[in-house]
Structure 1
């Protein structure tokens, strides 16, 4: 049996009667090659199954042409959309993507940094666990640029792209106050991450600006099973069980939740207590999951710009590969409050047809 041989540029050149240099320039979309020649070269390359030798190209360019993406939880719908937008942007720029998953584990994150160093990636987009950062300092100090996404590591003074969570929570709370709510409650996730802290800050600021009480007992955190594995998704039953303890002494006018799953649990508890939404209690979510617009009472929620976060992070990283003079940037992208029936809004056809983002933390 004859051993299969990898197709080469020389094979294409020989078949078309061209020089290897011309074939290389045609496959590289160089302007000095005519459209007719480029089309012929591409057709022959496809016919013989030619695959570029990325290692050889890396040696020529002095670049691995690979970017790393370190993500905490790909089962999170926001991160799934983020991965997709980053991969599309990276591929369009001629790079490959090395995906590493940490499952919100500091130990796994350290392993991920070792993998980045072994792979000699050109740069990395990172959603940090936020437990430790010395291993990220080591990566940065080797000259690999980092762009943190969604969560910052201010000790390292690196580029960061995220969502303005504080603004989203502020707008959701202010919307409820404008609708007449005076007794508000915040239902948040009990996790030590900056996204949760930012949403709490937004709630506090909106309440203060409205001249309303913002005592600590108005901020309730749901102990979730994500403590067993922080990478697990949210579960509506966690908020459902917790919310059963909230309505022993009356009920608030409105409840702000840190994610749409918590809002699902609340809706069931309220229905079982004979309370209607939004007449008795108005509710807002966070994330705008696909089901939010299609509930019996469509959910007012904060839509997150997942695709914009991903493409902005890649563009910033690629720019950082070209220059190290400019100081690191912190970019926060504003989310969108989508008003629906759970706060008294009328669900419009536009709201129902819009493609939502998803919750991240």
Structure 2
């Protein structure tokens, strides 16, 4: 059975003996069309299964009503929440979402930028790979506004909306120091990206503010899982190996601050297998506060990230740029960085040598 031909405005016009222009104006609720005619046109459109052709409308209005989103790995729980918030916010403003996944590949990112330019999207939100700016500069020169999410890209002067990872690391480190712990480690992703560098900076600055310094081996790097170009969920395995090594050299009451909650999972198992009780003998702090964190034994102290708020603020900022695009030079506000504060959620995964409660 061959597919049914798409119903057009002309089909509705022919059925009702009206002009195509009248049908178009009736469906758009224009005042020049009578209430009765609008009623008849809408009823016939429903009967015939008419669906507006968004692409044709875009050609006429020179507005695609579509936003591009370039993201590194949608299996990251933070990014999954981010995508949902962006889609919902865009939808309420009348925009559809075109999602492009890069897997942290610069080649994939270049292709994504070129593809979005060809489609003529109205604006782009991007979590950049953080290597190279030429393709993003090309997108901007084509007249498409760009807002970065969550990662700063040196050399590219555009808006950024993200999380204040520095503040999150400082809050987590301050909490650990407040329990009386003096042996601290930071298990971070082995990636050259701004969230990681900001967490490391926050860790060191907080220690320095207390007159402490971390030994060279206090920051350990955890390799990210490889998926052969396919998104894979965060893997606790590499952090488990790190935890096994730390269990052999960490002293009583040592605490490891993990770059994400999946790393914390690996640390929990490694410490347990080496006879160390998390929350009693050693401590672990996570980052992300994923849903499983509260159900670990003991419940994991973690830094909660405002994923939805970042997505919503990113869409709002981008649409501000879309609405002012094409204005005379000097009429557009300078790019700004907006970093939203995370929240430390204290549970029972850090021991208190002073005997106090969590």
Instruction: Settle same-fold status: TM greater than 0.5.
Output: yes
Provide the residue aligned with 2:138 in structure 1.
138
Q: Is contact 1:104-1:231 (8 Å) kept?
A: no
**What SS does structure 2 have at the residue aligned with 1:310?**
helix
Could you tell me how far 1:55 is from its partner in structure 2? 2.5
1:167-246 to 2 correspondence within 5 Å?
A: 167-226=167-226, 231-246=231-246
Deviations 1:261-283 (A, max 9, x none): 11111111221222222122121
Number of residue pairs aligned between Structure 1 and Structure 2: 345
- Gaps of at least 5 residues in structure 2 are 326-331, 353-358
How does 1:40-55 map onto structure 2 within 5 Å? 44-55=44-55
In structure 2, the partner of 1:287 is 288
User: How many Å apart are 1:119 and its aligned residue?
Assistant: 0.8
Question: Does structure 1 residue 330 correspond to structure 2 residue 337?
Answer: yes
Structure-1 separation of matches of 2:170 and 2:42? 53
1:59: how far off?
2.6
Query: After alignment, is 246-255 or 177-186 more displaced?
Result: 246-255
TM-score under structure 1 length normalisation:
0.86
2:320 matches 1:313: no
Contact 1:226-1:233 within 8 A present in 2 as well? no
1:358 is matched with none
Q: CA 1:25 to 1:287, structure 2 compared with 1: closer, same or farther past 3 Å?
A: farther
8 A Cα contact 2:26 2:38, kept in partner? yes
Is 2:61 the partner of 1:61?
Answer: yes
Structure 1 CA distance, aligned partners of 2:124 and 2:205?
34
**Cα distance in structure 1, aligned partners of 2:173 and 2:159:** 30
Counterpart secondary structure, 1:111: helix
User: How far, CA to CA, are the matches of 1:31 and 1:303 in structure 2?
Assistant: 50
Query: Which residue of the partner structure matches residue 7 of structure 1?
Result: 7
Rate the CA distance shift 1:82–1:29 in 2: closer, same or farther, 3 A. Answer: farther
CA change 1:36–1:291 in 2 (3 A) is: farther
Between the aligned partners of 1:33 and 1:340, the Cα distance in structure 2 is: 63
Relative to 1, partners in 2 of residues 1:327 and 1:228: Cα closer, same or farther, differing over 3 Å?
A: same
User: What SS does the corresponding residue of 1:342 show, helix, strand or coil?
Assistant: coil
Which residue does 2:165 correspond to in 1? 165
Deviations 1:287-311 (A, max 9, x none): 1111111112111101111111111
The two structures have a TM-score, normalised by structure 2, of 0.86
Q: Deviations over 1:51-93 (max 9, x none)?
A: 1121231133221222111111111111122112111222222
- Residue 327 and residue 182 in structure 1: after superposition, are their counterparts in 2 closer, same or farther (change >3 A)? same
1:67 and 1:97 in contact (8 A); partners too:
yes
Do structure 1's residue 261 and structure 2's residue 262 form an aligned pair? yes
Asked whether the equivalents of residues 68 and 98 of structure 1 are also in contact (C-alpha less than 8 Å), the reply is yes
Note closer, same or farther for the CA distance 1:335–1:29 as it changes in structure 2 (3 Å cut): farther
Q: CA RMSD in A?
A: 2.9
Deviations 1:322-359 (A, max 9, x none): 125111121111111111111369xxxxxxxxxxxxxx
Give 1:79-158 correspondences, 5 Å limit. Answer: 79-158=79-158
Q: 1:3 to 1:82 in 2, by over 3 A?
A: closer
Task: Please name the residue that 1:340 is paired with.
Answer: 347
Q: Is the deviation greater in 1-10 or in 265-274?
A: 1-10
Kindly state the Cα deviation for residue 188 of structure 1 after the two structures are TM-superposed: 0.9
CA distance in 2, matches of 1:161, 1:29: 37
Gaps of 5+ in 1: 346-361
**Residue equivalent to 1:353:** none
- On the 8 A contact 1:104/1:230 being kept in 2, the answer is no
Give the drift of 1:96: 2.1
1-structure distance, mates of 2:31, 2:164: 42
Shift of 1:176: 1.0
Mapped partners of 1:90, 1:333: distance in 2: 20
